[in-house]
Amino acid sequence: MERRDYNRGGYSRNRVDRYYDDPQDGGRGGYGADRYYEGEHDGSRGGYGGDRYYGSAQEGGRDSGYGGDRYHGSPQEGGRDSGYGGDRYHGSPQESGRGGGYGRDRYHGRAQDGGRGGGYGGERYYGGAQDGGRGGGYGGDRYYRGAQDGGRGGGYGGDRYYGGAQDVGGADAGYLSRRGSRDRNYSHPYNNRHQEQYGGSRRRESSGGGGGGSQLYRNRTPTYHRQNTDRVHDLSARDREIRASPVEYSQPVRSRSRSPAPTITQTQLRLADRIQEVHHREVEEVHHREIQCIPSPMDDEEYAYVPIKRPDHGKLAMKSVKLLVNHFPVKFDPSKAILRYDVDIKPEMSSSSSSRSLKKPIPKSDLRLIQEQLCSDNPNQFPLLQTAYDGEKNIYSSVSLPEGTYNVQLHGRSYTCKIRYGTKLGLSKLQDFLKGNAIQIPRDVLQALDVVMKANLFREKVPVGRGLYPRVHRKEDDLHGGVAAFRGSQQSLKVTSNGLVMCLDYSAVPFRKRMPVFDFLKECIQGIREVNDIERFGNQVIRALKGLKVGVIHRRTNQKYTVCGLSEKATRDLSFVLEDLEGKKEPEVIMLTDYFREKWGKEIKHKGVPCLNLGNSKKPNYVPIEFCILSEDKRFPKEQLGKEAARKLKELSLLNPNCREREIHNLVHDEYAPGKNGANAIKNFEVEVGMSMTEVDGRVMAPPQLKLGSLNGKTMATTVDRMKCHWNLLQGKTLVVGKSAERWAVMDFTRDDRRNSLNVNYFIGKLMKRCESIGIQMEEPIMVHQTTMREFSDVNTLNRLLKEIVDECRRRDNRRLQMIVCVMAEKHDGYKYLKWVSETQIGVITQCCLSFNANKANDQFLANLGMKINAKLGGSNVELIERFPRFNGSDHFMFIGADVNHPTAANQSSPSVAAVVGSVNWPAATRYAARVSPQHHRKEEIVNFGSLCLDLVNTYEHRNGIRPNRIVVFRDGVSDGQFDMVLNKEMVDMKKSLYTENYRPAITFVVAQKRHTTRLFLNNGNGIGNVPPGTVVDTTIVQPFEFDFYLCSHFGGMGTSKPTHYSVIWDENGFTSDEMQKLIYHLCFIFARCTKPVSLVPPVYYADLVAYRGRMFQEVAAESESESGMGGSESSSFDRFFYNLEDHLRDSMFFI
- CATH number where 462 lies: 3.30.530
**Amino acid residing at 492:** S
Report yes or no on 278 lying in a domain: no
Residues 758 and 738: their CA atoms lie apart, in Å, by: 27
DSSP secondary structure code for residue 516 in this structure: B
Reduce the DSSP state of residue 396 to 3 states and report it.
strand
Last residue of a domain, one of 875, 890, 914: 875
Tell me the C-alpha to C-alpha distance, in Å, between residue 581 and each of 347, 508, 584, 623. Answer: 20, 47, 8, 20
Report yes or no on 103 lying in a domain: no
8 A C-beta contact, residue 46 and residue 287: no
8 A C-beta contact, residue 176 and residue 166: no
Same domain as 624, residue 477: no
Same domain as 528, residue 549: yes
Report yes or no on 994 lying in a domain: no
Residues 932 and 1111: their CA atoms lie apart, in Å, by: 10
8 A C-beta contact, residue 821 and residue 779: no
Same domain as 625, residue 640: no
Nearest to 1030 by CA among 981, 1111, 970, 1094: 1094
User: In terms of C-beta density within 10 A (0-12 exposed, 13-18 middle, 19 or more buried), how is residue 515 classed?
Assistant: middle
Residues 392 and 1122: their CA atoms lie apart, in Å, by: 35
Q: Are strands 879-880 and 705-710 parallel, antiparallel or unpaired?
A: antiparallel
Same domain as 869, residue 745: yes
Same domain as 670, residue 641: yes
Same domain as 443, residue 331: yes
Nearest to 690 by CA among 522, 887, 499: 499
Tell me the C-alpha to C-alpha distance, in Å, between residue 840 and each of 748, 1112, 1143, 1150. Answer: 22, 12, 9, 11
Kindly state the helix (H) or strand (E) to which residue 433 belongs, with its residue range: helix 428-434
Residues 1078 and 1095: their CA atoms lie apart, in Å, by: 14
Q: How far is CA 312 from the centre of its chain?
A: 22
pLDDT of residue 912: 94
**Amino acid residing at 761:** N
Taking the CA of residue 375 as centre, how many other CA atoms within 13 Å lie in the half-sphere pointing to its CB? 16
Strands (E), 740-782: 744-748
Quick check: bond before 1040 cis, omega within 30?
Answer: no
Nearest to 661 by CA among 155, 916, 196, 1020: 1020
Same domain as 462, residue 331: yes
Nearest to 143 by CA among 120, 160, 168, 130: 160
Q: Mention every residue, 6+ apart, whose C-beta is less than 8 A from residue 478.
A: 484, 513
- How many of the other CB atoms lie within 10 Å of CB of 641? 20
Kindly state the helix (H) or strand (E) to which residue 120 belongs, with its residue range: strand 118-120
Last residue of a domain, one of 605, 631, 657: 631
Residues forming a β-bridge with 551: 629
Residues 60 and 1135: their CA atoms lie apart, in Å, by: 63
Same domain as 503, residue 620: no
CATH value at residue 592: 2.170.260.10
Taking the CA of residue 202 as centre, how many other CA atoms within 13 Å lie in the half-sphere pointing to its CB? 7
Same domain as 600, residue 521: yes
Nearest to 747 by CA among 788, 779, 807, 776: 788
Taking the CA of residue 360 as centre, how many other CA atoms within 13 Å lie in the half-sphere pointing to its CB? 8
User: In terms of C-beta density within 10 A (0-12 exposed, 13-18 middle, 19 or more buried), how is residue 586 classed?
Assistant: exposed
Last residue of a domain, one of 585, 603, 631: 631
Report yes or no on 191 lying in a domain: no
Q: Which residues of the chain are modeled with pLDDT < 70?
A: 1-303, 350-359, 581-583, 633, 1021-1023, 1122-1133, 1136-1137
What size, in residues, is the chain? 1152
Tell me the C-alpha to C-alpha distance, in Å, between residue 1022 and each of 323, 324, 503, 844. Answer: 12, 12, 22, 53
**pTM for this entry:** 0.73
User: Residue 594 belongs to what domain range?
Assistant: 515-631
User: In terms of C-beta density within 10 A (0-12 exposed, 13-18 middle, 19 or more buried), how is residue 285 classed?
Assistant: exposed
Report yes or no on 1071 lying in a domain: no
Indicate the angle between helix axes 364-377 and 443-460, nearest 10 degrees: 80
SS (H, E, C) 641-695: CCHHHHHHHHHHHCCCHHHHHHHHHHHHHHHHCCCCHHHHHHHCCCEEECCCCEE
Tell me the C-alpha to C-alpha distance, in Å, between residue 953 and each of 33, 164, 293, 336, 672. Answer: 29, 42, 18, 53, 53
Nearest to 932 by CA among 1095, 1147, 1089: 1147
Residue-wise burial string across 1086-1118, b where 16 or more C-beta atoms lie within 10 A, e elsewhere: bbbbbbbbbbbbbbbbbbbbbbebbbbbbbbbb
Report yes or no on 933 lying in a domain: no
Residues 33 and 21: their CA atoms lie apart, in Å, by: 10
Residues 114 and 150: their CA atoms lie apart, in Å, by: 13
User: In terms of C-beta density within 10 A (0-12 exposed, 13-18 middle, 19 or more buried), how is residue 260 classed?
Assistant: exposed
Reduce the DSSP state of residue 333 to 3 states and report it.
coil
8 A C-beta contact, residue 729 and residue 774: yes
Alpha helix (H) residue ranges in 38-80: none
Residues 542 and 196: their CA atoms lie apart, in Å, by: 70
- How many of the other CB atoms lie within 10 Å of CB of 316? 18
DSSP secondary structure code for residue 493 in this structure: E
Reduce the DSSP state of residue 276 to 3 states and report it.
helix
Cα distance from N-terminal residue to C-terminal residue, the chain: 62
Strands (E), 293-393: 319-325, 327-332, 337-347, 387-389
CA 28, 5, 104: angle at the middle one, nearest 5? 95
Task: Specify the number of domains making up the chain.
Answer: 4
8 A C-beta contact, residue 933 and residue 954: no
Q: Are strands 394-397 and 387-389 parallel, antiparallel or unpaired?
A: antiparallel
pLDDT of residue 358: 64
Same domain as 870, residue 772: yes
CATH value at residue 847: 3.40.50.2300
Report yes or no on 862 lying in a domain: yes
Report yes or no on 56 lying in a domain: no
Same domain as 472, residue 390: no
Same domain as 542, residue 554: yes
